[in-house]
Amino acid sequence: MDRQLLSNLSENELCGFCEIFGAYMEGKFGQKWGSFMQVFRFLLERNINHNSESEQKLTAQEIYEWVLAAKADLRVAKMVNSMNLKEQNYHLSALSVYHLQQSVEKATKAFGLDRQMILRSDLKGKDQISHVSPKVFIKRLKEKLLNEPLGIFLNNSKLRSQIEMFSENIEDRVFLNLEGKRIGDYLTNSREISRKFENTLPAVFNRKFRKTWKTISGGVAEAIQKSELIDEKNKPHAVKFVSEIDLPFEWKYLIHTMSFTTGLYYLSIITYAHEAFTRYPGGKITPRDYTENMGIVAKFDEIVEYFEPILNELEIDLDPNK
From CA 59, how far away is CA 37, in angstroms rounded?
25
Instruction: State the pTM of this model.
Output: 0.72
User: Looking at per-residue confidence, does 98 or 134 come out higher?
Assistant: 98
What H or E segment, with its residue span, contains residue 308? helix 300-318
CA–CA gap between residue 271 and residue 276 (Å, rounded): 10
Residue 243 three-state SS? helix
d(CA 25, CA 264): 31
Sign of the C-alpha dihedral, residues 142, 148, 150, 155? positive
Give the range among 210-219, 220-229, 262-271 with minimum mean pLDDT: 210-219
The pLDDT tens digits for 178-187 are 555 678 887 8
Dihedrals φ, ψ of 133, to 5°? -60, -25
Please choose, from the candidates 318, 299, 315, 313, the residue with its C-alpha nearest in 3D space to the C-alpha of residue 100: 299
Average pLDDT (194-223) is 74
Distance (Å, rounded) from C-alpha 99 to C-alpha 81? Answer: 10
